[in-house]
Structure 1
Amino acid sequence: MAPQSLLVAGVGDIHGRFHRVEAWLDALAEARGRPVDLVLAVGDVEAFRHADDHRRKTAKRAMPAEFAEYADGVRTMKRPLYFIAGNNEDFEALHDAPEGMQLAPNVHYLGRAGLKEILGLRVGFLSGIHAPRFYEQPLKRPRSLDTAKQAGYFRAPEVETVAALRDVDLLLVHEWPRGLPQRAQEREVPPPGRTLPNYWIGNPITRRLVETVHPKWVLCGHSHRAFAVTLGGHGVKPPTRVACLDQATRPDESVFWMEFQGREVVRAGWGISGKESWGGGQPWGLASLPAPPEPEPVGTGY
């Protein structure tokens, strides 16, 4: 019997925009001619259960408080969505569930750090970003804006948990591993219209995790731009393909889909057109990115 085929969609920082993400996934399913089986979000989801909480605490206050409709049962997510925490979340609601919880039907918080088997895939994850001052400090209950902000930083024991993982199909992190632009520049010239990100983007802790765990794929967000690069692949260690996702403003760079045959990705693509941009055995890097958006036309004026 052939291994089960799965269509998995990675989504960048949602920042409360649940309605548009669902519409994008509907379009992707139609374009691929099959259901989206699983959605993985890389943090800054901002799943505030109450509209008032969203308005008082969210980072993107101009966005509507859409998750409250799912929490109240007014709407139901059409396919299972699993997310890690970024540095902008409803940490008061998430604090007592460090190993994960269901927030609404088909909406699952994975937890602060660990491994979950989902539809036969081994998914490792680390929530939050790196803040050296708080790395060794205990996590406090988020009772104020200050302690809520601190809850968005990962801690040393959580990193140790992830560092012990092996045989990982997908690793979800919020903040980029440090050094991706340098690694890309060593191998490739950016295509026309593409520029490399800032040299200092990302953090060294996540980079060491990737080099220790050797996941097959890494999905990350936080920096609000798309990027693609391969790490490792020397000697007996398999390569790790990294896909960084933009925030959910336009689908071309904030949605990244992967079709799995068993536990191996056989094809992948950006956006919701269904167009394949990578197939098994092909190189993964800057050339795998979607075409950059067309510049806005300049008005002639009078």
Structure 2
Amino acid sequence: MPEPLLVAAVGDIHGRFHRVETWLDALEQARGRRVDLVLAVGDVEAFRRPNDHRRKAAKRTMPAEFAEYADGLRRVKRPFFFIGGNNEDFEALHDLQAGGELAPDVTYLGRAGERELRGLKVAYLSGIHAPRFIEQPLKRPTTVDTVKQAGYFRTAEVERLTGLRDVDLMLVHEWPRGIVQRAREENPSPPRPLPSYWIGNPVTRRLVDAVQPKWLLCGHSHMAFAVTLEGPGRPATRIACLDQAARPQESVFWLEFEGREAVRTGWGTSGAVAWEAGQRWDMSSLPAHRPTDGDGEGAPVGY
């Protein structure tokens, strides 16, 4: 039997490529094997030129680390695929709406679609919901306003995905609406504080309900979350929301697949298993809760 496929997902990187590579090294050491595939759920900030990164991300103090990969000074160790969030180098991504490689083994999946990665069917939707712009055409991002609008998904992009079925993984940036209520219904006394009921958007929720992927991975809100959507006649969609890449415990999430079925998953870089096939996936599947500490990188939701 072939060795299980090890997939590592990473929350909003915001330009911190070096630390993510170090975390993935630690995960490989802990699991005793190579990470086959890395998936990032948006707000990667793969700015090609350092000056661009410092200008457009001035509200953060993140180093412009991707420039080293784009210039060939460094190379990622594992195939890295990402979707767009609402903070990206949209000028560079505009001409890659169907996806493309930004540096060796660093691939932007595109604004919306489906791709087979290492035998897995992966669907993806970049951006967040902005009702005012969802029906407007996507303009080339040349001004402050059009750059911001490039971080919003459009109806045509959502519709491109609604007919998909038998999806192993779906990547979105913004959470689907209603999953906090679902978690509260399952456990009136959850093991950690829950975010606002109104987090997420209804468009992504309708999309997830239509596609019913086996796993959904989200970013944007800078907190870890776990819940399952299921019901009569509806197969389970297990949702893992990832924290930003300030520390690895809740911003790195890994899955081991046998064939196209996830058989075990875990958080962080310790290699400890948080869930195995047949177990319930909910808030109790998260690591022990600790507030963001140490590096002062806690940030508001949707940063």
Using the size of structure 2 for normalisation, the TM-score is 0.94
Aligned to 2:203: 205
CA gap of 1:139–1:180, structure 2 versus 1, over 3 A, is: same
For the 8 Å contact 1:190–1:286, the answer to whether it is kept is no
Give the Cα separation in 2 of the matches to 1:60 and 1:184: 33
Runs of at least 4 residues of structure 1 off by over 3 A?
A: 189-192, 294-297
Give the Cα separation in 2 of the matches to 1:12 and 1:190: 26
Amino acid corresponding to residue 226 of structure 1 in structure 2: A
**Displacement after TM superposition at 1:294 (Å):** 6.6
For the 8 Å contact 1:4–1:262, the answer to whether it is kept is no
Q: Name the stretch that deviates more: 214-223 or 236-245.
A: 236-245
Q: 3-state SS of the aligned residue for 1:134? A: coil
Give the Cα separation in 1 of the matches to 2:292 and 2:210: 40
Give the Cα separation in 1 of the matches to 2:80 and 2:161: 21
* Offset from partner CA, 1:113-161 (integer Å, 9 cap, x none): 0000000000000000000000000000000111000000000000000
Aligned to 1:67: 66
Q: 3-state SS of the aligned residue for 1:133? A: coil
Which residue of the other structure, out of 247, 255, 258, is the alignment partner of 1:250? 247
Aligned to 1:300: none
Aligned to 2:300: none
Give the Cα separation in 1 of the matches to 2:272 and 2:188: 23
**Displacement after TM superposition at 1:191 (Å):** 4.3
Query: How many aligned residue pairs are there?
Result: 294
For the 8 Å contact 2:184–2:190, the answer to whether it is kept is no
CA gap of 1:69–1:190, structure 2 versus 1, over 3 A, is: farther
Aligned to 2:164: 165
- Counting only pairs closer than 5 Å after superposition, residues 92-107 of structure 1 correspond to structure 2 as 92-107=91-106
Aligned to 1:240: 237
Give the Cα separation in 2 of the matches to 1:295 and 1:11: 17
1:267 matched to 2:260: no
Aligned to 1:88: 87
Aligned to 2:214: 216
Aligned to 2:285: 288
Question: What root-mean-square deviation, in Å, do the aligned CA atoms of Structure 1 and Structure 2 show?
Answer: 1.4
* Offset from partner CA, 1:251-289 (integer Å, 9 cap, x none): 000000000001000000000000000000100001000
Amino acid corresponding to residue 246 of structure 2 in structure 1: T
**Displacement after TM superposition at 1:162 (Å):** 1.2
Q: 3-state SS of the aligned residue for 2:234? A: coil
For the 8 Å contact 1:15–1:60, the answer to whether it is kept is no
CA gap of 1:19–1:135, structure 2 versus 1, over 3 A, is: same
**Displacement after TM superposition at 1:295 (Å):** 8.6
- Counting only pairs closer than 5 Å after superposition, residues 175-214 of structure 1 correspond to structure 2 as 175-192=174-191, 194-214=192-212
Structure 2 residue runs of 5 or longer lacking an equivalent are 295-303
Aligned to 2:297: none
Give the Cα separation in 1 of the matches to 2:163 and 2:226: 25
Q: 3-state SS of the aligned residue for 1:114? A: strand
Aligned to 1:55: 54
For the 8 Å contact 1:190–1:196, the answer to whether it is kept is no
Q: 3-state SS of the aligned residue for 1:267? A: strand
For the 8 Å contact 2:256–2:262, the answer to whether it is kept is yes
Aligned to 1:36: 35
**Displacement after TM superposition at 1:235 (Å):** 2.8
Give the Cα separation in 1 of the matches to 2:189 and 2:209: 24
* Offset from partner CA, 1:172-214 (integer Å, 9 cap, x none): 000000011100111124444x111101000000000110000
For the 8 Å contact 2:115–2:123, the answer to whether it is kept is yes
For the 8 Å contact 1:255–1:271, the answer to whether it is kept is yes
For the 8 Å contact 1:177–1:203, the answer to whether it is kept is yes
Q: 3-state SS of the aligned residue for 1:224? A: coil
Q: 3-state SS of the aligned residue for 2:161? A: helix
Give the Cα separation in 1 of the matches to 2:81 and 2:276: 25
1:142 matched to 2:141: yes
Aligned to 2:112: 113
Give the Cα separation in 2 of the matches to 1:294 and 1:42: 22
Using the size of structure 1 for normalisation, the TM-score is 0.95
Amino acid corresponding to residue 242 of structure 1 in structure 2: I
Give the Cα separation in 2 of the matches to 1:285 and 1:294: 19
**Displacement after TM superposition at 1:222 (Å):** 0.2
